[in-house]
Amino acid sequence: MNYLKTYLKGMAMGAADVVPGVSGGTIAFITAILDPLLESIKKIRPSLLGVIKEQGIKAAFMHINGPFLVCVFGGILTSILSLAKLITYLLDTHPIPVWSFFFGLILISVIHMLKQVKGFTLGRLVLFALGAVFAWGITMLNPIALEMTYLNVFLGGCIAITAMILPGISGSFILLLLGLYTPVIGAVKNFDIAIMATFAAGAAIGILCFSHVLSALLRKYHDATLMFLIGLMLGTLGKIWPWKEVMTFRENSKGQMVPLDERVLSPMQYEHITGQPSLLMYAVIAMFAGILLVWGLERFAQKSR
């Protein structure tokens, strides 16, 4: 039963990772699997070869908490493969309720993480502000157009995976900034094994390196690190605000015109400027659904512990 719970938590992480602006690391933190995930990944190091020599492959697999890792990454992979088409379709056809749902999810996640901080010192508040400014600055960047090569896909996997396990920063959004989101999601939709394997190899290298850094920070400077991460989460809220006006467009790799620069609007401004309904009632319902989901995950994690 514990493995099933872990698998479902992995699926929740994968669903979040598909959406630009939402972090799978946030879901990992809420469901209380971020620490064991980092600790398990940290054990995958050259010294593991010694364990294999002395005790065998099965012992090495258990040493890195293999069943746990298989469940988490199996859940993530299941979500990415099964939900990529659905989520991109919903973002195209029902953007306001979908973005509202994720806005509520991030908002309640911030409150959840603040409850984990034991004290608010001046230094921690400064880190919080730095995190918010840093994340806001990233959301203001214009996407670059990297050429779709195997090397760029590999490097994109290395960079994006660090964000995928980092609460507050979205791996999908990093791919969007690099100009690789559409090609990578397209590869998943079309089951392009070569691109997927290249991205996975980059992600494996990236996560093995970055897990040590994040784990050490959470272990030695837990509250300070949390405050910075909470700042990151708040700084990205503007990216997932449901009502926006597109100021400029860019051409993606398929020759389609997609939004480049957007301006945040109030629901009333949105109706006035775009001439489209703000769907405010649906947005509020979706936002509360996101809040209730995180509240349910938090209760679920508490019962598991």
- Proportion of the chain above pLDDT 90, given as a percent: 7
Mean pLDDT for the chain overall: 80
Query: What is the reported pLDDT for 266?
Result: 87
Instruction: Between 256 and 116, name the one with better pLDDT.
Output: 116
Mean pLDDT of 81-95: 79
pLDDT bracket for residue 148 (50, 70, 90) = confident
As a whole number of angstroms, the distance between CA 245 and CA 269 comes to 9
What residue ranges do the domains of the chain occupy? Answer: 2-146+215-304
Residues 17-70: tens digit of each pLDDT: 777 666 777 788 777 788 888 888 888 888 888 888 888 888 888 888 888 999
Instruction: Between 259 and 299, name the one with better pLDDT.
Output: 299
Would the pLDDT of 284 be above 90? yes
Contact 229, 117 (CB under 8 A): no
Instruction: Between 131 and 258, name the one with better pLDDT.
Output: 131
Three-state SS sequence of the chain: CHHHHHHHHHHHHHHHHHCCCCCHHHHHHHCCCHHHHHHHHHCCCCCHHHHHHHHCHHHHHHHCCHHHHHHHHHHHHHHHHHHHHHHHHHHHHCHHHHHHHHHHHHHHHHHHHHCCCCCCCHHHHHHHHHHHHHHHHHHHCCCCCCCCCHHHHHHHHHHHHHHHCCCCCCHHHHHHHHCCHHHHHHHHHHCCHHHHHHHHHHHHHHHHHHHHHHHHHHHHCHHHHHHHHHHHHHHCHHHHCCCEEEEEEEECCCCCEEEEEEEECCHHHHHHHHCCCCCHHHHHHHHHHHHHHHHHHHHHHHHHC
Mean pLDDT of 98-120: 83
Nearest residue to 176 via CA among 88, 44, 68, 241: 88
Other residues' Cβ atoms within 10 Å of the Cβ of residue 74: 16
Would the pLDDT of 281 be above 90? yes
pTM of the predicted structure, to 2 decimals: 0.71
pLDDT bracket for residue 127 (50, 70, 90) = very high
- Proportion of the chain above pLDDT 70, given as a percent: 85
CA atoms in the 13 A half-sphere facing the CB of 278: 15
